[in-house]
Amino acid sequence: MKTVRTVIFAEGSFADDIHCKTGYGVLRYAPDTVVAVIDSQLAGRDAYEISRLGRGIPVVSDLTSALRFEPNRLLIGVAPAGGALPESWRQEILFALRKGLEVLNGLHTILSEDKEFVEAAETGGARIIDLRKEPDDLDVALCRAQRVEANVVLTVGTDCACGKMTTALEMLYEARRRGIPSDFCATGQTGIAIAGWGISVDHVLSDFTAGAAERLVLEAGADKNVKLILVEGQGALAQPVYSGVMLSLMHGSLPDNMILCHQANQQLVELVDRPMPPLAEHISLYEESMRIIKPAKVRAISLKTRGMDENEARRVIEETAIEAGLPVTDPVRFGSGVLLDAVLNDCPQKVPLSGEMAHIDLNPPF
Amino acid sequence: MKTVRTVIFAEGSFADDIHCKTGYGVLRYAPDTVVAVIDSQLAGRDAYEISRLGRGIPVVSDLTSALRFEPNRLLIGVAPAGGALPESWRQEILFALRKGLEVLNGLHTILSEDKEFVEAAETGGARIIDLRKEPDDLDVALCRAQRVEANVVLTVGTDCACGKMTTALEMLYEARRRGIPSDFCATGQTGIAIAGWGISVDHVLSDFTAGAAERLVLEAGADKNVKLILVEGQGALAQPVYSGVMLSLMHGSLPDNMILCHQANQQLVELVDRPMPPLAEHISLYEESMRIIKPAKVRAISLKTRGMDENEARRVIEETAIEAGLPVTDPVRFGSGVLLDAVLNDCPQKVPLSGEMAHIDLNPPF
């Protein structure tokens, strides 16, 4: 297998960990595969200075400058709101394809459906991998995920970009360290880039979003050895832009347990600038929205304390634990053991669905 | 303007008012435009015998038999679960197009993207109208609907096919009878077929579903004379197959008031065969799911009593009113005045959103 040598395209956004979350995710969980980051405004710096990730990885001004590191992949590491391709990026991506770099694209814009990109890929002998392109044969969700025997854990949140993917991955790695056979269901472009499989549910037709989540859980659960399935949540019930996606994930994956992810001290809900509701309201809404289908509790809170010093982080974790009456930690800073304990201890058995179950017709997603 | 002469394609399904709800909707709200219904199993009957709608409209075995009524439009009146085109229908639709009939298609399968249908349409000089094809320039929802001054009413439900479109249309016509300037936002293929505009939100990418609802409300509200906007709900929070679509509609359209639609005596949630939760649980979940964004109450219940005799219908309406503590009626049977009173009397003023509002950039949807 050829070694992956990724250059992360983060033009104009590398200082912004929210817009650049795909890039940050790969820097955090697969830093050895990254050779450079492109952001002309930060060229000459070390990635670590900007992101606290990827020490020793240079930030360069453009792809021409990155070529000396012999990349074989360009990852589009920026996810603008709405997800469409900014036209100003087109030339750089065409250049990458013509130079033979595989392009990993997490945008809503499907590059492999654009004639100019397809021609450039043919010219360079390169592949286009559209991370958000959905399978052709998705179906609706019919509560089939309930048949999976493993403990299914969904990471939910108070907003976008509050650590849902990170928390699921940190819990996955901790579970594997403990010898618990576990799997991760990636539902967004960054998770798919890291895990190597998944479905980007926000690029699925709304009727099939829950079906996509169901299919991922069935696929992970098809391996009967797997005891724990961590499903990456997307959006949030209190984030009107993406609330429907979150509810679809909940009702498609049918979690046994949920972990609520939250950015410490966040005052406003992003994008709509509304006051952030208290944690108790989020927890209640998540549990009530599950209860009408099948019961599932929020077992712990994953708190994002990045940017705080350690004392401040410990203080806010303690305060949050008192406020919510639940275990709380920042899994990046202090490990995810507390979160894993909460889902393993509190829910030793699956709660059966009442009523007649739908027939299972399991096809592997890929 | 040419008179529309529709033949409704309902092969194998005309006796089933759920799968054939597009056909039933047009028979109910635009019966003068319908010349025949195709269902080979029921050929020779009068449509009214089967559907209690469209008296005098014949059911015929196939399109060849329907041609003597000189149709100029074929409406695909069946909506199978998942919405894909059954291959067995292909020849009949091709035949219609080659004969010059306009085809109105409410399926997820977009006929105008299928080469064989496009060629048949060219042969016959016919149009294909894909009711579910979404606008190309949809964006995410950003609470812009709150800026609309009219009273926005969303019809929600306990399941699919419980009268959400019908209730919104009945309230629209009653409001217009009372001289209240009103508009209707169609969100599904039948509503669009009746109203002549709208967006079929279940054929929109999940990220943009709320944005589609927001756009419809802004478009209706752009006419400052409009005092009442009735938004057609889709799916239900307790129906896991479509719950995400409903939540997206709620958080995109930002209703001031909701009407809960329910099939009287329904014991199981469709598709997943789960026990139907009590009305109080549905109402609580709808109100809580709105409250985290902006308050909106369920003001009344629209009860579908079709198939009951009148005494039984009155009894179940009375019982439901006592159970829920809300006004209840069946708008098809007894008129929608009670429902309209509930949203006009209980909410004279809009409830303002707290926090800073997002910038409005209103583009008309069509």
ipTM, 2 dp: 0.79
Confidence class for position B346, pLDDT limits 50, 70, 90: low
Query: Do B124 and B156 lie in a common domain?
Result: no
Tell me the chain A residues in contact with residue B210 when contact means C-beta distances shorter than 8 Å.
240-241, 243-244
Looking at the predicted structure, is the pLDDT value of residue B349 above 50? yes
Average pLDDT, chain B: 90
Encode A214-235: b = buried (16+ Cβ within 10 Å), e = exposed. Answer: bbbbbbbbeeeebebbbbbbbb
Tens-digit pLDDT profile for residues A95-137: 999 999 999 998 888 999 999 999 999 999 999 988 888 788 8
| pLDDT the model gives residue B60 | 97
Tell me the chain B residues in contact with residue A240 when contact means C-beta distances shorter than 8 Å.
141-143, 210, 251-252, 254, 293
Strand partners, A304: A263
Residues A101, B205: Cα–Cα separation, whole Å = 29
DSSP tag of B312: H
Looking at the predicted structure, is the pLDDT value of residue A68 above 50? yes
Q: Which of B206, B269, B284, B356 to mutate to test the interface with A (most CBs of A within 10 A)?
A: B206
CA-angle at A48, arms to A47 and A50, nearest 5°: 70
Query: Do A277 and A177 lie in a common domain?
Result: yes
Crossing angle of the two packed helices B243-253 and A209-221, in degrees rounded to 10:
140
The two three-digit tokens of residue A149, written as one number = 């025997």
Looking at the predicted structure, is the pLDDT value of residue B143 above 50? yes
Least confident of B100-109, B170-179, B218-227: B100-109
* Partner-chain contact B252 A271, CB within 8 Å: no
* Partner-chain contact A205 B210, CB within 8 Å: no
Least confident of B40-44, B79-83, B222-226, B344-348: B344-348
Pairing of strands A73-76, A6-9: parallel
Mean pLDDT, residues B327-332: 97
Tell me the chain A residues in contact with residue B275 when contact means C-beta distances shorter than 8 Å.
354-355
pLDDT above 90 coverage of chain B, percent = 75
Q: Answer yes or no: is B322 within a domain.
A: yes
| pLDDT the model gives residue A355 | 42
CB B107 within 8 A of CB B129: no
| pLDDT the model gives residue B180 | 96
CATH number at residue B105: 3.40.50.720
Looking at the predicted structure, is the pLDDT value of residue B361 above 50? no
Distance from CA of B61 to the nearest CA of A (A): 31
| pLDDT the model gives residue A100 | 96
Tens-digit pLDDT profile for residues B251-280: 999 999 999 999 999 999 999 989 999 999
Q: Answer yes or no: is B120 within a domain.
A: yes
Q: Answer yes or no: is A203 within a domain.
A: yes
- Report the amino acid identity of residue B342: A
Residues B231, B42: Cα–Cα separation, whole Å = 34
Q: Answer yes or no: is B264 within a domain.
A: yes
User: How many beta-carbon pairs under 8 angstroms link A with B?
Assistant: 174
Query: Do A60 and A188 lie in a common domain?
Result: no
Query: Which of B105, B130, B155 delimits the end of a domain?
Result: B130
* Partner-chain contact A238 B201, CB within 8 Å: no
Query: Do B155 and B114 lie in a common domain?
Result: no
Confidence class for position B366, pLDDT limits 50, 70, 90: very low
Query: Do A93 and A181 lie in a common domain?
Result: no
Strand partners, B151: B228
Residues A140, A241: Cα–Cα separation, whole Å = 22
CA-nearest of A89, A104, A95 to A66 is A95
Q: Model-level pTM greater than 0.95? A: no
CA-nearest of B45, B51, B85, B80 to B65 is B45
* Partner-chain contact A209 B244, CB within 8 Å: yes
Q: What is the largest CA-CA distance in chain B?
A: 62
Query: Do A200 and A307 lie in a common domain?
Result: yes
- Report the amino acid identity of residue B44: G
Mean pLDDT, residues A324-334: 97
Query: Do B207 and B296 lie in a common domain?
Result: yes
CATH number at residue B173: 3.40.50.300
By CA distance, what is A352's nearest residue in B? B274
Residues B255, B290: Cα–Cα separation, whole Å = 9
**Closest to B82 (Cβ–Cβ): which among A83, A140, A356?**
A140
Looking at the predicted structure, is the pLDDT value of residue A361 above 50? no
Q: Answer yes or no: is B135 within a domain.
A: no
Q: Answer yes or no: is A117 within a domain.
A: yes
Least confident of A261-275, A290-304, A311-325, B340-354: B340-354
Tell me the chain B residues in contact with residue A206 when contact means C-beta distances shorter than 8 Å.
201-206, 209, 244-245, 248
Query: Do B191 and B120 lie in a common domain?
Result: no
Q: Answer yes or no: is B359 within a domain.
A: no
Mean pLDDT, residues B347-364: 41
End-to-end CA distance of chain A: 20
Tens-digit pLDDT profile for residues A136-177: 888 899 999 999 999 999 999 999 989 999 999 999 999 999
Q: Which of A137, A203, A272 to mutate to test the interface with B (most CBs of B within 10 A)?
A: A272
Tens-digit pLDDT profile for residues A316-327: 999 999 999 999
Least confident of A60-69, A104-113, B94-103, B131-140: B131-140
| pLDDT the model gives residue A77 | 81
Mean pLDDT, residues B5-24: 91
**Closest to A285 (Cβ–Cβ): which among B141, B246, B289?**
B289
| pLDDT the model gives residue A347 | 52
Looking at the predicted structure, is the pLDDT value of residue B363 above 60? no
* Partner-chain contact A354 B83, CB within 8 Å: no
Q: Answer yes or no: is B138 within a domain.
A: no
Residues B48, B34: Cα–Cα separation, whole Å = 12
Tens-digit pLDDT profile for residues A175-195: 999 999 999 999 988 898 887
Q: Which of A136, A237, A292 to mutate to test the interface with B (most CBs of B within 10 A)?
A: A292
The two three-digit tokens of residue A79, written as one number = 């996810």
Tell me the three state secondary structure of residue A191.
helix
Mean pLDDT, residues B120-141: 89
The boundaries of the domain holding residue B97 are 6-130
Query: Do B336 and B226 lie in a common domain?
Result: yes
Query: Do B24 and B112 lie in a common domain?
Result: yes
Query: Do B212 and B94 lie in a common domain?
Result: no
Query: Do A202 and A59 lie in a common domain?
Result: no
Residues B286, B298: Cα–Cα separation, whole Å = 8
Q: Is A219 or B29 the better-scoring residue by pLDDT? A: A219
Encode A194-212: b = buried (16+ Cβ within 10 Å), e = exposed. Answer: bbeebbbbbbbbbbbbbbb
| pLDDT the model gives residue B193 | 80
Q: Is A312 or B133 the better-scoring residue by pLDDT? A: A312
Residues A242, A141: Cα–Cα separation, whole Å = 19
| pLDDT the model gives residue B182 | 96
Tens-digit pLDDT profile for residues A8-56: 999 999 999 888 988 998 898 878 889 999 999 999 999 999 999 999 9
- What is the rounded radius of gyration, in angstroms, for the C-alpha atoms of chain B? 20
Domain count across chain A: 2
Mean pLDDT, residues B116-130: 95
Confidence class for position B350, pLDDT limits 50, 70, 90: low
Tell me the chain A residues in contact with residue B154 when contact means C-beta distances shorter than 8 Å.
none
Residues B172, B181: Cα–Cα separation, whole Å = 9
Tell me the chain A residues in contact with residue B206 when contact means C-beta distances shorter than 8 Å.
201-206, 209, 244-245, 248
* Partner-chain contact B353 A289, CB within 8 Å: no
| pLDDT the model gives residue A364 | 30
By CA distance, what is B281's nearest residue in A? A292
Backbone angles phi, psi at A173, to 5 degrees: -65, -40
